[in-house]
Amino acid sequence: MKKKIRVIQYGIGPIGASIVRLMRQKNSLEIVGAIDTDAKKVGRDLGEVVGASDAPWGVLVSADAASVLAKPADVVVHSTSSYLTSVMDQLLACLGAGLCIVSTCEELAYPFRKHPQLSKTLDEAAKEEGVALLGTGVNPGFVMDKLPLTLSAVSQWVDWVSAVRIVDASKRRLPLQKKIGAGMTPDEFRAQVAAGVIKHHGLPESIAMVADGLGFSLDDISETIEPMIAEEVIKTEFLEVEPGQVAGVHQVGRGTAAGQEKIFMELKMYVGAKNPADTVVLNGDPNLTLTIPGGTHGDVATAAVVVNAIPSILAANAGLRTSRDLPLSFFPGNAVG
């Protein structure tokens, strides 16, 4: 029998829990440890914490990262924060234990431009231990970077790229609906943006990854965050948005070279979104458009892309990798049932 891949889950928020439930379905993965500092989770069975019907699993959630990371394991799935500065110590501890990492940390998806020194530190630490780490997810990590880059494999040349993602947040979790400002006044929204609370992370990372992949020498990457304003009453399972109130976020990222726009990325994530879809356009030879009608579902797909990346990161050359470097596809993992 082939040896199972031993995984430690680091962070059991909504996304971490979704990842854990998916990993449990793969016979070739074995969850050997779980780390979280939330007092409501520590000491409890991981299966129970993530609401699994087959709980208990016999794996307890621990707040003592060092002792969990000391267990025999192959890879850490890490899901605690969007900010690289906040997770450096966690990542270095994992690498120091000789473990590969797949992380949902958005800033890790392509950290070279914003955090060149931290990138170097992580790359060196990983190489020293002969392991690899990857930040990934749907966005950044797939829809706005891996997908346009993969499509560009059939391009003789590329002049301009756009990736537009329209997400209907109506069916998403309440925390997500609140996170995008649904139900706020435009003033409240702008205050939350100014305070750094409302923001989807990843557009600059995706722009930098695509630019480097396509050989665009960008002078500047800029980003704006505006509210999407409801024009009519929008009701979700959790809340109601009045006309004039905020329905969600509208973020635009631009990469420019010599004053010219080379990369355009737009994310509209709001309740009541019309025609949700992911659309990638490459202007060049040939001109190419790729559409995923309905779009790539955020929570389901994020958990998927993280779990599917596990075999790729285990097979990767040591160091700090990105989804640009790795072949990514579904990981069958001898699915249960």
Nearer to a copy of itself (CB atom), residue 35 or residue 313:
313
User: Smallest distance from the beta carbon of 111 to a copy of itself, in angstroms?
Assistant: 18
User: Smallest distance from the beta carbon of 222 to a copy of itself, in angstroms?
Assistant: 23
Is 150 among the residues that bind a copy of itself (CB under 8 A)? yes
Which 209-228 residues touch a copy of itself, going by CB under 8 A?
A: 213-215
DSSP bridge pairs for 288: 282
| Sign of the dihedral through C-alpha 223, 198, 16, 271 | negative
Strand 319-321, strand 240-241: pairing: unpaired
Q: How many CB atoms lie within 10 A of CB 175?
A: 11
Round to whole Å and give the CA distance between 76 and 54.
23
| C-alpha closest to that of 307 among 335, 279, 269 | 335
Round to whole Å and give the CA distance between 79 and 246.
28
The DSSP string of 178-235 is HHTTTT--HHHHHHHHHTT-S----HHHHHHHHHHHHT---SEEEEEEEEEEPSS-EE
Interface segment toward a copy of itself; rule CB under 8 A; list 64-72, 233-241, 261-269, 325-333 = 325-333
Binding mask 270-309 for a copy of itself (x = CB under 8 A): ---------------xx-xxxxxxx-xx--xx-xxx-xxx
**Cβ–Cβ < 8 Å for 163, 279:** yes
Q: What are the counts of helices (DSSP H) followed by strands (DSSP E) for the chain?
A: 11, 15
Among 138, 176, 180, 247, which residue sits at the site for a copy of itself (rule: CB under 8 A)?
A: 138
Strand 288-293, strand 277-285: pairing: antiparallel
User: Smallest distance from the beta carbon of 253 to a copy of itself, in angstroms?
Assistant: 19
**Cβ–Cβ < 8 Å for 246, 230:** yes
Binding mask 90-129 for a copy of itself (x = CB under 8 A): ----------------------------------------
Round to whole Å and give the CA distance between 186 and 53.
42
User: Smallest distance from the beta carbon of 302 to a copy of itself, in angstroms?
Assistant: 8
Binding mask 45-84 for a copy of itself (x = CB under 8 A): ----------------------------------------
Round to whole Å and give the CA distance between 5 and 318.
18
User: Smallest distance from the beta carbon of 50 to a copy of itself, in angstroms?
Assistant: 15
Q: Coil, strand or helix: which one is 55? A: coil
Structural tokens at position 291: 């559409």
Is 155 among the residues that bind a copy of itself (CB under 8 A)? yes
Nearer to a copy of itself (CB atom), residue 19 or residue 193:
19
Nearer to a copy of itself (CB atom), residue 147 or residue 230:
147
Nearer to a copy of itself (CB atom), residue 173 or residue 297:
297
Among 41, 146, 199, 262, which residue sits at the site for a copy of itself (rule: CB under 8 A)?
A: 146
Is 156 among the residues that bind a copy of itself (CB under 8 A)? yes
User: Smallest distance from the beta carbon of 160 to a copy of itself, in angstroms?
Assistant: 13
Round to whole Å and give the CA distance between 156 and 154.
7
Q: Which residues bind a copy of itself (CB under 8 A)?
A: 22, 25, 138, 142, 146-147, 149-158, 213-215, 285-286, 288-294, 296-297, 300-301, 303-305, 307-309, 324-330, 332-335
